[in-house]
Structure 1
């Protein structure tokens, strides 16, 4: 059974349940109010008769003119002795006298419901000199009330049936409208599953702010992201395959050369071994960068702690200064003795190493590392070199995986083109921004802005 049919049936069942209780309440209140009014009338008539001193005036019952003025159609008057025998009675409806008489010592109201009508009996004790001597009973056949109640039941049943039909039809059409976006969603997902291609749900020209429209828009945005990720994955695999194929081809060529000729030529053997070692080192770096990039993308701030950034910058600069033999100048903003921030200190150190290492590769002058606190809530780091610079049209692509500029990044000097992609992911994980500013022949500056508290 489809969800649409289930909702239609549940809504209809709920409506019928509400109508049942509502109509039952209406019928109950109708009978209660009507019978209560009739009972009050009968009580008033009984009190009027008791004022006539019935025990001492039996002639009232022989001379019906005294009682007929109080008797109306479908009514009965009975005078009952203590032994429950009817002493006197007058009536205008024979159905009333078929009910047994009973002697009571207090005011009593009896309501009888039968197939041929509703009957009310009011019984009141009759006193003489302070002692009860009989019971006066007045009965009335509420035939019209029974007819009206039957008519009311018919109307309520007819109304319920009409409401049920309207609920089923309305619920069916309403759920059709309600589930149309969901049906489009299911159809689109099935088409995606069959064809393997990404598709969007068609959205109305005039967007509304309801949940189903938001669901469709969210689905389309998700498809866009999946398509973008799928394309990036394909591009990543293609680029990684290309980067891996080059060193493997070189290693294979030199190994083949070694097998055939190098054992007779020392110079050729030395050249082949050096090439194999160089390309193996390149493969190792590429593999490490790929693993590092994958690990960074999977992490989500699990190692976030509070740390002082200044010692990390100084220690990293000192290590790179020692290994490269180049001048790396660290400039801390005046008055800034300590710079606390929240994040992963190991990733921040890796970020600085990548940027400073790039600056060292493409510049023969000193590299400057500046740090400052902006607006007392964000950390600003600048890595500046005086190198060959980068063309302006290349800047938007520098954070793409395996991207290398033609002029500034050849394979031997620039590596595999993963360093800035890793740096970009690190900055994103810390909720910051990274920007490269450069011109050919005028050096490059990497500007990183990080919040002091990582989100």
Structure 2
């Protein structure tokens, strides 16, 4: 069963239930109200009869004219003796006279509904001084009320049927309005799956100020994110293919050269081997960087943060790089107890990337400053190297972007380091910013959230 059919049936049944409950309540309310009014009229009639002194003397009950003054159409009046004999009575309706004779010692009312024909009965005790000597019973055939209630019932049934028909028709229209954006959303999803294209919903749907409009906006935002991600993936594959192709082409060329001429030329053979080794190392570094990117993306759903001593981790990383590059890396911490909230290994990788870049492009000592500002740890890595052109700074975090392709090639760079660094920082809900001037050096500022114990 489709969603539209279910909505129509559920809404129609709900409306039908409301109408039926309302109509039944209205019917019984009107029935009870009319019965109560008729009961009050009978009670007043009984009071008028009981005001006659002859009624309270049983010797007068045999007089034929005793109740003649109270004769009315569709009315019955009778006096019942304690032995259940009807000792006096008048009736203008046969069915009223057929009502069973019962002697009661108290007040009593009864409504008889015989296949839609209503009869109302009232009994009132007759006293002689303080002794009950009989029971006055009045009966009234509610012909007008019965007919009116039949018409009311018929009208309510017709109204219920009309409401149900209206509910079905309006349900078709209403659900068409509701289902239209959902159907368009479904068709868009099918188009994305079938044609591998990113189709967005029309502004007619997304501009609505309701849940369906918000659903459409969210869908369009998701499609835009997928489109952007797809474009980045395509660009990444193209860039990675280009980067991998270059060293492989160099290796292939030198291998071919060795096969043809290397056996008889030691200098050429040495040059070829050095080139192959350099390109192999560069290829290895590129593959490792790609694997790190893939690992970071895979671990997005496996974040397990913990308190990390930023100063200790930075001193350890700087110490190892200082030995490896035989360079001075000066760590200056305003507070030794700066504790970040993150993962030790990715943060260590972040520090390595930033320090490695600073060491490669500067011959002077690199200075690292750690401090805290409010709820953030601030890490600043400053070098006095060759700097970066201002036009290149906005593109530094793009994958495979190189400020100077020849410089990066000679230093073994892949163009992925800062992209990985930014991904790590964003994963830790932090920020990274680079300030640089040519020939004046570069400053990298990293901000990471502090752990609660140190904030």
TM-score, structure 2 length as denominator?
0.91
Matching residue of 2:307: 306
* Distance change (3 Å), C-alpha of 1:87 and 1:67: closer
CA-to-partner distance for each residue in 1:275-295, whole Å, 9 max, x for gaps? Answer: 333222222211211111111
Q: Per the alignment, in what secondary structure is the counterpart of residue 201 of structure 1?
A: coil
Answer yes or no: is the 8 Å Cα contact 2:206–2:217 preserved in 1: no
Matching residue of 2:364: 365
Pick which of 351-360 and 403-412 moved more. 403-412
Answer yes or no: is the 8 Å Cα contact 1:387–1:441 preserved in 2: yes
Query: 1:84 & 1:57 partners in 2: Cα distance?
Result: 14
Matching residue of 1:446: 444
* Distance change (3 Å), C-alpha of 1:69 and 1:412: farther
Q: 1:4: how far off?
A: 1.9
Query: 1:56 & 1:378 partners in 2: Cα distance?
Result: 107
Matching residue of 2:426: 428
Query: 1:315 & 1:271 partners in 2: Cα distance?
Result: 38
TM-score, structure 1 length as denominator?
0.91
Query: 1:58 & 1:140 partners in 2: Cα distance?
Result: 27
Answer yes or no: is the 8 Å Cα contact 2:205–2:213 preserved in 1: no
Pick which of 436-445 and 299-308 moved more. 299-308
Matching residue of 2:323: 322
Query: 1:166 & 1:186 partners in 2: Cα distance?
Result: 29
**Alignment map for 1:61-72 (pairs within 5 Å):** 62-64=63-65, 66-72=66-72
Answer yes or no: is the 8 Å Cα contact 1:437–1:444 preserved in 2: yes
Aligned positions, number = 450
Pick which of 180-189 and 76-85 moved more. 76-85
Q: 1:260: how far off?
A: 4.5
Q: Per the alignment, in what secondary structure is the counterpart of residue 70 of structure 2?
A: coil
Mark the runs of 5 or more structure 1 residues left unpaired by the alignment.
none
Matching residue of 1:23: 23
Matching residue of 1:223: 223
Answer yes or no: is the 8 Å Cα contact 1:387–1:442 preserved in 2: yes
- Correspondence for 1:383 among 376, 381, 384: 381
Answer yes or no: is the 8 Å Cα contact 1:111–1:118 preserved in 2: yes
Answer yes or no: is the 8 Å Cα contact 1:43–1:122 preserved in 2: yes
Q: 1:22: how far off?
A: 1.1
Query: 2:59 & 2:440 partners in 1: Cα distance?
Result: 134
Query: 2:100 & 2:318 partners in 1: Cα distance?
Result: 115
Query: 1:205 & 1:112 partners in 2: Cα distance?
Result: 61
Answer yes or no: is the 8 Å Cα contact 1:372–1:379 preserved in 2: yes
CA-to-partner distance for each residue in 1:352-374, whole Å, 9 max, x for gaps? Answer: 11111111212222222122222
* Distance change (3 Å), C-alpha of 1:230 and 1:291: same
Query: 1:9 & 1:447 partners in 2: Cα distance?
Result: 62
Q: 1:16: how far off?
A: 0.7
Answer yes or no: is the 8 Å Cα contact 2:388–2:438 preserved in 1: yes
* Distance change (3 Å), C-alpha of 1:171 and 1:196: same
Query: 2:4 & 2:265 partners in 1: Cα distance?
Result: 82
Answer yes or no: is the 8 Å Cα contact 1:119–1:139 preserved in 2: yes
Q: 1:186: how far off?
A: 1.5
Pick which of 187-196 and 202-211 moved more. 202-211
Pick which of 125-134 and 339-348 moved more. 125-134
Answer yes or no: is the 8 Å Cα contact 2:400–2:415 preserved in 1: yes
**Alignment map for 1:8-407 (pairs within 5 Å):** 8-51=8-51, 52-54=53-55, 56=57, 58-59=59-60, 62-64=63-65, 66-115=66-115, 117-128=117-128, 132-204=132-204, 207-300=207-300, 302-333=303-334, 336-374=335-373, 376-406=374-404
CA-to-partner distance for each residue in 1:238-280, whole Å, 9 max, x for gaps? Answer: 1111222222233333334444443444444433333333222
Answer yes or no: is the 8 Å Cα contact 2:181–2:205 preserved in 1: no
Q: Per the alignment, in what secondary structure is the counterpart of residue 101 of structure 1?
A: coil
Answer yes or no: is the 8 Å Cα contact 1:104–1:135 preserved in 2: yes
Calculate the aligned-residue CA RMSD, in Å: 2.4
Q: 1:24: how far off?
A: 0.8
